[in-house]
């Protein structure tokens, strides 16, 4: 199981507390704009890069619209990670973005 949060709620949360953001979009989309300090691991690379993630940390998973992040959240939760899916993704996120 994993939790979900709206892009708007994440925006408000980030004003108060840092999150370990995992952006599962491809590298080109990530470079175009992402949440500051986000980690980029495209969803198709997740299985081979699992060891680079820390199971002791909670992760907030984001993509562009919410579909890939939902699949990534299901996968990571099944692997024992504490994850929260961002519904609406970067397309609905209006907080600060870096390039």
Residues tagged active-site:
63
C-alpha to C-alpha distances, 15 to 27, 40, 75, 84, 95, nearest whole angstrom: 26, 21, 28, 17, 9
User: In angstroms, rounded to a whole number, what is the distance separating the alpha carbons of residues 13 and 61?
Assistant: 14
The residues, ordered by sequence, that sit 6+ positions from 12 with a Cβ below 8 Å of its Cβ are none
For 21, the enclosing helix (H) or strand (E) is strand 21-23
- Separation between Cα atoms, residue 53 and residue 43, nearest integer Å: 13
């Amino acid at each position: 199981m994993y939790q979900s949060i709206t892009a708007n709620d994440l925006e408000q949360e980030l004003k108060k507390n840092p999150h370990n953001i995992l952006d599962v979009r491809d590298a080109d989309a990530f470079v175009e704009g992402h949440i500051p300090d986000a980690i980029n691991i495209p969803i198709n690379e997740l299985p081979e890069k699992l060891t680079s993630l820390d199971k002791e940390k909670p992760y907030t998973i984001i993509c562009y619209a919410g579909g890939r992040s939902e699949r990534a959240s299901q996968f990571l939760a099944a692997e024992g990670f504490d994850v929260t899916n961002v519904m609406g993704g970067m397309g609905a996120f209006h907080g600060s973005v870096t390039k």
